[in-house]
Structure 1
Amino acid sequence: MSRRRPTPDDLNPYVALTDTALNFILLMVFFVAALTAVGRVSWEDVRYKEAQKVFQQAVERMIPARQQPRANGGKNDPPGTQRWVFRNSALFEPGRATLSRTGRVTLNQFAKVLRTNKNTWRRIRVEGHTLPTQNRSGDRWEEATDRAAAVARYLVSRGDIAPYYIATSGRGGQSPLPDTALTDPAHARIEIVLEYAKQSASDAGAP
């Protein structure tokens, strides 16, 4: 004799109600957690997007295409960070840490954009990069640091950017460009990193 399959009338209503309530609570917890996570990321991204867009448009308008830095969004930077990549060949005399004439003109224009938009950013980091470090080759931190310092000094002395907004870093060859041959001269570069924040450079003043 086969057993009769249970019908809806045989189910314990309290068990069914408990299962429904538990599923509802789990759904609400997931929904709130998702909103919180998305809200944090999206709000931080949207918060600075318009300021970064305005800055990029100004760079594209004021610096000729051949000398123009490119915005690098591929780094794993926190929200509110914008990187500008300058080829060494666009800023420096060949093989030296001395700014070329065209490099000085380019930095003058970039500094002008910084001053015009100082109500949106709060700090600047100037990073020097060289060709990637390979086996049995030393890292050229001094070379990278000297070039970063030259750019920072020029932004202060000729670009009228207060020094307490600027930090420098000599990264050597430790941060190569993605999808680029190790011997490509493009690795030798300066990256100017802008940190945007609610408190801007014009509001913060000297620390």
Structure 2
Amino acid sequence: MSVICPGCAGGEHVLPVPEALGDVVAAAVDPSAVAHLAPPPAPQPGPVRDSAAVAVLVVLAALWLLLGVLSLLRPRPDLDRYGDAYRAGYLLGGLVGPAVLTGAAMVVRMLSRRRARRREEELLWGRQARWQHLVARWRSGWWCRRCQAAFFPVGALHPGAPPSPLLAARHYPAWVLGTPAPATATATGSGSAPSPGPGRQGAGGQALS
């Protein structure tokens, strides 16, 4: 079945939106409309942030290290009367604690980022499924070179879907996303969206919102 433009009622000037973007010159796509007709951007994984526990451990390690350095700068007591273990603990105690906390922070960071990365992958999978659905809707649209407008024919968006009105390029993304209310160009009536304000018209005399 041939696709007919709802604006000019012709079929020789229409082509799928992906093909129109493939050759904007031949499809007579206005440069300002190219961005509006572009496919939905693919979802990207979000940033993986460190947990608050990592920051707390790092701060504690830094404070402990600072206290250890300050204690070493104070006048030392006579350590000769103490055993080797005590002297080693006195001199190195300010370093062992921060080292332990730093190691714990690294372990917590590794585990928390692994969990966050796994959670982000699950969310990304859901966004990928949604994106594929939107790309399918985007591919189902058509462009009329004569009217310089887009439209969805009967059954394009889903089985049994009615045809869309003629759409200005800036309203095409809203229909792809499934929020067509502001983009309709039908007259006000029962079950229809409000008619558009003054604007340019397609070749068939239909207003483009």
The normalised TM-score by structure 2 is 0.32
Q: Which has the higher strand share?
A: 1
Larger radius of gyration between Structure 1 and Structure 2: 2
The normalised TM-score by structure 1 is 0.32
